[in-house]
Amino acid sequence: MAVDVQGINPLFMLSAFNLFFYLLTPALVLWYVYYRMSRKQLYELAHKIQGSDGLPFLGNALDFLRDSHAIFHKIYEKSFEFDLTKPAKMWIGPRLMIFLTNPKDVEVILSSNVYIDKSPEYRLFEPWLGNGLLISTGDKWKAHRKLIAPTFHLNVLKSFVGLFNVNSRETVNKLRKMGNKEFDIHDFMSECTVEILLETAMGVSKKTQKKSGFEYAAAVMKMCDILHMRHTHLWMKPDFIFNFTKYAKQQVGLLDLIHSLTNNVLAKKKEEYFKNKSQLTELSDSPVAEEEVIETNSTTEVEEVPYGNSFGQSAGLKDDLDVDDDGIGEKKRKAFLDLLIECSENGVVLSDQEVREQVDTIMFEGHDTTAAGSSFFLCLMGAHKDIQVKKRACQVLKFSISFTFIVFVLYTGKGGRRTILDIR
């Protein structure tokens, strides 16, 4: 029997396109309903927080299609629209962003050992930092943090004041050479903090390094620029796209420079570790070794920490009470890299690869934050001449730079304790 198809409405013809359309549309509708229902609690809680819901599917994403400076000013302008004592929200596509402005709210999050998972953007750091403290989570993060935290105990940091002072004086001399020229203070602070980290936490002399602190700091800043670019350009986030760009080649070169410094540091410290270990073994076999060590320790005076010495390099780790001879000493604590290498060689918690990752992490986080804070502090000092006069008065009175002095410089308050070392 013949069928006349000429009189049939084309919309009802069962073509491949129509079949695909009729199947896909209900599937998309069902998926969207399921998606909304699965996130029902999230939307209900978000509705209670002040802020704009933005456009469907996009949220407030269109506000971020601009350069980073414009984004900063946009967020700053919007901040005046809300009660700054309460959290505010913003949607970036399907992602809910919560802004905390109350210090008590921030404290709850930062002091938590449960909510420690980082945002997906942190994966961009993996080629650089591996799975160090910045990125790791769960039991691994807790175990490594418990191990590393004591190496930054106040009593360890106090005994590094001598090195802080020496490196800060060198930075001041470099600044003097600039005269009345305009310069970026962050460059000088970055170099200074890198070299301080090398000589304190890492325990190696900067004179033994193939690359200068400034070269390392410059490479770190360029790497941060690349990561920031990938964060703000959505099409750059997938690795398969990024790897075809010129930035991928730049990243490889920068990481080679950065990792060469940390690998060199690790090699020197491991060589020193085994050398000291063999010497201690020889001393322990000698009947007069114990007597000699006791006599040496009792006659040693600590005036200023020499270049390249960490506390793991000395016969006994000095804390602030030992240095100042103010009373009975507390528990001896090892410096950062000394402890990591010892644990790695003894098979405790850390592998060799994990030691490298933690060193890369501390070198990045330690220098970047301190350099930025010191730079802003010095900018404020330059803008407030009256405070400069009071700081200078300390030098006129010839106070020695010790941790005891820093603690009692009440004018600067707690915030000044971290930065006063850099102005000396």
| pLDDT confidence of residue 326 | 45
| pLDDT confidence of residue 128 | 92
- What does the pLDDT look like over 285-317, one tens digit per residue? 665 444 444 343 433 333 444 433 433 343 343
Please, which residues bridge with residue 95 across strands? 92
| pLDDT confidence of residue 30 | 92
| pLDDT confidence of residue 397 | 54
| pLDDT confidence of residue 331 | 55
Which regions in the chain score pLDDT beneath 50?
1, 288-329, 410-411, 413-415, 417-418, 420-424
pTM: 0.71
- What does the pLDDT look like over 162-183, one tens digit per residue? 888 888 889 999 999 988 888 8
| pLDDT confidence of residue 12 | 53
| pLDDT confidence of residue 313 | 40
Q: Which two tokens stand for residue 121?
A: 């953007």
d(CA 276, CA 281): 9
Q: Which two tokens stand for residue 4?
A: 């006349």
| pLDDT confidence of residue 251 | 95
